Chains A and B, each alone.
Chain A
Amino acid sequence: MFNFLEEIKENLKDSAGLDNFNLINLSGKLLYVEGHLGLVTLSKEIISFKVKKAIVIVEGENLILSELSDNTIKICGAIKKVEEI
C-alpha cells in the first residue's frame, strides 16, 4: 500500500531518527499526529502530548481533539504553533 510519508523518508539520504513520530499540519486547521505516546495537556488553547524522547506542544484557539487512538491524534481548530521540546 502506498504510504506518502514512507516514500518521502526513502528519498532522503539520511533517514535515521525519522521513525519517532509524524506530524502533518493541514492549513493550520488540522494537525494529524502519528506515534504519540500519551496526552500531557488538554485545553482549548494548548494540547500537548508525548512522543519518543520529546513532548510536542500545540497552541491555538478553540482546539478540539477530534480523534485520539492508540498512536494517532487529530487536532482541529486554529493552530498557531507547533513546538517540540
Chain B
Amino acid sequence: MKWKNQTTFQIHGLNQEKTLSEIAKVVTLSKINRENKTDTTFECPYLKHKKVEKILKNKGFQIISMRHEGILWRLKKIATSYGLVLGVAVFFILQTVAAQFVVQYQITGVDKQTQTEIVNFVKTNFSNKKSALNTKQVEISLMENFDSISFVSCMIKGQTLIVNIKEKLMPNEIYGQFKPIIAQSDAKISEISLISGTLTVKVGDFVRKGDVLVEPFVVDSSGSIKKVEAKAEILGEVYNLGASQHFSSRVEVSRTGKKVVQNSILLFGLEIYTFKEENNFKLYETESEDVNLIKNLPLPFKLKKTTFFELQEQTIESNFEDVKDEFIEKAKQKALQNVENCDKIIEEFYTLRHQSNATFVDYCIVTSESIEAFEGD
C-alpha cells in the first residue's frame, strides 16, 4: 500500500499540452506520460484531484480512469463505505442502552393534576431502569398512597411506563364539606326538603339563630355512621320586629339664646390669666375650646374659651291617637330594615301596649325565607 496521497488520471483528448499547462498553474502534476497522441496518464495530489477533474471536464476531456492511492484516500473510503454501517451500529448501541430505561410515563384514567402527582410519585420512589422497575410493586404502592384509586395496572411498553387507573366511584353526597347546616335566623320551620344528611328539626319547630338543622352524616342499616355532605332546603317563617314609643307628656330642653363667656390663658396647663363674666344661669350647658394664643412662639400659651348657654325646660303634651299612624309607620320602617333578603312577606301586624304615660308600638312582619347556612359561613 502506498502512503503518498496521489491520484492517477488517464485521459483521452486532443490539445493536451495546453490543458496540462493550465492545470499546472494551480496543481503540480507528475509522471506525465504521453502514450500516444490522444492518451496521457499523469498524477496529481489526491487532495487536488477534484480541481483537476473539473478542469479536464470543462475542457472536454474524457477521463478514462481515475485511480487514487494513499492513506487519506483509504481513510475516506472506509468512512464512506462503512459510514452507514457504522452509523447503524452506533444507533443500535445507543438504542440498546436507551432501551434499558423508562423515559416516558403515560397515565390514563385520572385528571391532569393527579397524573402529575402520580408521575412525580413514581419518579421519586422507583428507578427508571427497566430491570429494576417492578410494575407489581408500582401498582401496590400507588394503591396504598392514593385513596382515590380503586384499580391500577402498570406495564412497560418500549420506553414508556403505562399506568392505567380506575378511580373509586363514590356518590356525590360524600364529597364536599362535612359541616352541619345551621339556622341563620330565629324562625319557625315551614318547609323542609332534605337532600342528604340527618335532620334535627321538623316542620313547625321554632329554632334560634345558630341551631343545627341538618347533621353531616347518615346512619345506615347496620347502625354505623357515614359522613355525607349536609344538603337541604329549609324554609322558615321569620318574625321581623320594629318598635317605636310615644310619651303623652315629655320635657324638651332648649337654649334661650343667652350666653356667658369665660376666657383663661394657660401655660403648661397652669392658669396664668383669667377673665370671667358672672354666670347666673340656673340651667345651662357649656362648650369650650383650646387655641394657641400666639403662633411660632416656643412657649405654648393657650387660650381656653368656655361658653355657658342658658337652657329652658318646656313640657310638651300630645295625644297618641293624633300621631298614631306616624308611630306605626316608624315601627314598620324599622321592621322592614330586617326583611331585605326575604323571599316573600306572609303577614304583617302591629300591637299597641299602653302604660301610664307611654304607648309602645310593636310592628311585626312575618316573612318566608331560606334559613339554612353552613357553620362558619
Contact = CB atoms under 8 A, between A and B. Distances in A.
Contact of B21 (A39, A43, A44, A64): A39
Interface in A53-71: 64-70
Contacts of B26: 70
A44 B26 CA distance: 25
Contacts, number: 49
A44 B40 CA distance: 11
Contacts of B258: none
Contacts of B31: 64-66
Contacts of A70: 24-26, 28
A69 B18 contact: no
B45 to A, nearest CB: 11
Contacts of A67: 28-30
Interface string A9-40: 00000000000000000000000000000111
B16 interface: yes
B32 A40 contact: no
Contact of B17 (A39, A44, A64): A39
B20 interface: yes
Interface in B31-70: 31-34, 37, 40, 42
A41 B28 contact: no
A65 B32 contact: yes
Contacts of A38: 17-18, 21
Contact of A42 (B25, B28, B40): B40
Given A67-B29, A68-B29, A69-B29, A42 B34 contact: yes
Contacts of B33: 64-65
B112 to A, nearest CB: 74
Most interface-central of B21, B33, B40, B42 (chain A CB within 10 A): B21
A51 to B, nearest CB: 13
A56 to B, nearest CB: 13
Contacts of A44: 34
B24 A42 contact: no
Interface in A63-85: 64-70
Contact of A68 (B18, B32, B37): B32
B18 A39 contact: yes
Contacts of B20: 39, 42, 65, 68
Nearest to B31: A66
Most interface-central of B30, B37, B42 (chain A CB within 10 A): B30
A40 B25 contact: no
A42 B16 contact: yes
Nearest to A75: B32
A73 to B, nearest CB: 9
Contacts of A66: 30-32
A43 B35 CA distance: 8
A65 B30 CA distance: 7
Contacts of B40: 42
A45 to B, nearest CB: 10
A42 B29 contact: no
Nearest to B26: A70
A33 to B, nearest CB: 12
Nearest to A70: B25
Nearest to A43: B34
21 contacts: A38-B17, A40-B17, A42-B17, A42-B20, A42-B34, A43-B34, A44-B34, A64-B31, A64-B32, A65-B29, A65-B31, A65-B32, A65-B34, A66-B31, A67-B28, A67-B29, A67-B30, A68-B29, A68-B32, A69-B29, A70-B24
Q: 5 nearest interchain CB pairs?
A: A65-B32, A38-B21, A39-B17, A69-B28, A68-B29
Interface of B: 16-18, 20-21, 24-26, 28-34, 37, 40, 42
Interface of A: 38-44, 64-70
Given A42-B32, A64-B33, 15 more contacts: A38-B17, A40-B17, A42-B20, A65-B20, A65-B32, A65-B33, A65-B34, A67-B28, A67-B29, A67-B30, A68-B20, A68-B24, A68-B32, A70-B25, A70-B26
